[in-house]
């Protein structure tokens, strides 16, 4: 979870997010090198002396400063493309979770398990426990097994929402009439927080997402306790 003064990316909890962070650092390094070079050149212009008054063309330098940026762009484009296809890969998921965006809450369905379904609302500030996180905690968490491939199906019932978990590198739009798919793999237990990231209306800021990453045994225990729960009942009771 991100706390105050954390301006960078969150610690990754999945292999894909790890790759995304590597790519971010790689791109940033190239950016810094370009900025330093251009900054140096612009600074040195202040000390320019007007020699070469009859210089009209420079074929060689123009060749260099046309081709060099193209090569630098390739060094960003190829890893970016690799990552794009890596993120799209679905590798035999063991659990499928369907998340449906509503104004303004998420509802979830475990279609593999007799369609366990429930709503997940943000806990209002005045009802928070002392150890709760304001604008981030929900009444019913998603429980999912760690160290397993998990497929997420995202859709929405009214307007476009976006199901986003920064620590897992997941960000999928939920669009009415469509079913988007992605997958992730959680490599440690814990709570992973996310928020809707598509401007979806007045309470857009108040539809957070919480995933409880647990060992597979605990997940099976949890899901078998809730296999016959109805929509209105809390799955955690």
Q: Which residues bind ligand CUA (CB under 6 A)?
A: 101, 104, 161, 196, 198-200, 204, 207
Angle in degrees, CA 40, 41, 42, rounded to 5 = 95
Angle in degrees, CA 155, 120, 90, rounded to 5 = 40
Q: How, if at all, do strands 142-145 and 209-214 pair? A: parallel
Other residues' Cβ atoms within 10 Å of the Cβ of residue 182: 19
Instruction: Tell me whether residue 122 or residue 223 sits nearer to ligand CUA (CB atom).
Output: 122
Instruction: Tell me whether residue 162 or residue 213 sits nearer to ligand CUA (CB atom).
Output: 162
Shortest Cβ 236–ligand CUA spacing (Å): 23
The DSSP letter of residue 100 is E
Shortest Cβ 221–ligand CUA spacing (Å): 31
Instruction: Tell me whether residue 101 or residue 235 sits nearer to ligand CUA (CB atom).
Output: 101
Shortest Cβ 137–ligand CUA spacing (Å): 17
Q: Are 191 and 213 in contact (CB under 8 A)?
A: yes
Helix (H, G, I), strand (E, B) or coil at 182: strand
Instruction: Tell me whether residue 117 or residue 198 sits nearer to ligand CUA (CB atom).
Output: 198
Shortest Cβ 28–ligand CUA spacing (Å): 28
């Amino acid at each position: 979870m991100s706390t105050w003064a954390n301006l960078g990316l969150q610690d990754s909890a999945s292999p894909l997010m790890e790759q995304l962070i590597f790519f971010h650092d790689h791109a940033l390094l190239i950016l810094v090198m370009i900025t330093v070079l251009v900054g140096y050149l612009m600074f040195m212009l202040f000390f320019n002396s007007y020699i070469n008054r009859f210089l009209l063309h420079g074929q060689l330098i123009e060749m260099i400063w046309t081709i060099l940026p193209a090569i630098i762009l390739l060094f960003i484009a190829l890893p970016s493309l690799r990552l794009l296809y890596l993120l799209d890969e679905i590798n035999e998921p063991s659990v499928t979770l369907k998340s449906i965006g509503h104004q303004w809450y998420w509802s979830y369905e475990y279609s593999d398990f007799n369609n366990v379904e429930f709503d997940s609302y943000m806990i209002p500030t005045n009802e928070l426990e002392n150890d709760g996180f304001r604008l981030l905690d929900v009444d019913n968490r998603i429980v999912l097994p760690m160290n397993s491939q998990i497929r997420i199906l995202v859709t929405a019932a009214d307007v476009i929402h976006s199901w986003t978990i920064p620590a897992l590198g997941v960000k999928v739009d939920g669009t009415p009439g469509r079913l988007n798919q992605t997958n992730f793999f959680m490599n440690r237990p814990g709570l992973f927080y996310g928020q809707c990231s598509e401007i979806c209306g007045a309470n857009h800021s108040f539809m957070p997402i919480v995933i409880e990453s647990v060992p597979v045994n605990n997940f099976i225990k949890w899901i078998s306790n809730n296999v016959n729960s109805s929509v209105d009942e809390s799955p955690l009771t």
